[in-house]
Structure 1
Amino acid sequence: MSKFSASDAAFVGFRLVREHPRTVAVWAALMTVLSLAISTLTIKLAGPQLAEFMAMSAENNASPQEMMAMLGRLAPLMAVSLVYSLALYSVMLAAVNRIVLRPDEGRSAYLRLGRDELRQAGVLILSNLLLLGVYFVAVLIYAVLLGIGIAAGGGAIGGIIGLVGFVAVACLMIYTAVRLSFASAITFATGKVSVFESWAVTKGHVGALLGAYLLAVVMGVIVYLLIMTIVAAVGAIVAGGIGGLGGLFEPDMSSLEAFFTPVGIVRAVFAGLISVLTTLIIFSPAPTIYQILKSGGAEPVDASV
Structure 2
Amino acid sequence: MSFSATEAAFEGFRVVRRRPMALIFWTLFYLVMIAAALAVLGGSLIGLMSTVQELEQAGGTPTADDVMPVLQAYLAIFAVILPFSLIASAVLYAAVSRSVLRPNESRFGYLRLGMDEVRVLVVSVALFLIFTVLSVVVFGAVGAIGGIAWGSDLPALWIVVVLLVCAAIALFIWLAVRLSLAIPITMAERRIAILDSFAFTKGRFWPLLGMALLAAVMSIVVGLLGSLVAMPIQLAAGNMDALTGLEDESLQVILQTAWPAIAAWIVVNAVMSALQLAVVYAPFSAAYRDIKGVQTDAAV
TM-score higher than 0.5: yes
Matched, 1:214 2:213: yes
2:48 touches 2:74 (CA, 8 Å); kept in 1? yes
1:236 touches 1:245 (CA, 8 Å); kept in 2? no
Identity %: 29
CA distance in 2, matches of 1:245, 1:277: 33
Aligned to 1:70: 70
Q: 1:255 to 1:81 in 2, by over 3 A?
A: farther
Identify unmatched segments of 5+ residues in structure 1: none
Aligned to 1:98: 98
Aligned to 1:199: 198
Shift of 1:279: 0.5
Aligned to 1:13: 12
CA distance in 1, matches of 2:218, 2:185: 25
> Which whole-Å deviations, capped at 9, do the CAs of 1:185-221 have from their partners, x for residues lacking one?
1111222211111112111111110110011011001
CA distance in 1, matches of 2:47, 2:74: 10
Q: 1:62 to 1:121 in 2, by over 3 A?
A: farther
| SS of aligned partner of 1:284 | helix
| CA-atom RMSD in angstroms | 3.1
1:179 touches 1:199 (CA, 8 Å); kept in 2? yes
CA distance in 1, matches of 2:25, 2:159: 52
CA distance in 2, matches of 1:6, 1:246: 51
1:147 touches 1:158 (CA, 8 Å); kept in 2? no
CA distance in 1, matches of 2:239, 2:281: 37
> Which whole-Å deviations, capped at 9, do the CAs of 1:107-133 have from their partners, x for residues lacking one?
222111111111111001111111122
Matches within 5 A, 1:287-298: 287-295=285-293
> Which whole-Å deviations, capped at 9, do the CAs of 1:152-204 have from their partners, x for residues lacking one?
762x2133222222211111111111111111111112222111111121111
CA distance in 2, matches of 1:255, 1:178: 44
CA distance in 1, matches of 2:39, 2:265: 14
Shift of 1:146: 4.0
| SS of aligned partner of 1:277 | helix
1:220 touches 1:281 (CA, 8 Å); kept in 2? yes
CA distance in 2, matches of 1:132, 1:56: 31
| SS of aligned partner of 2:180 | coil
Aligned to 1:115: 115
| SS of aligned partner of 2:203 | coil
Shift of 1:45: 3.6
Aligned to 1:136: 136
Amino acid at match of 1:128: F
Amino acid at match of 2:158: G
Aligned to 2:271: 273
Amino acid at match of 2:12: G
Q: 1:135 to 1:75 in 2, by over 3 A?
A: closer
1:27 touches 1:276 (CA, 8 Å); kept in 2? yes
Aligned to 2:175: 176
Amino acid at match of 1:283: Y
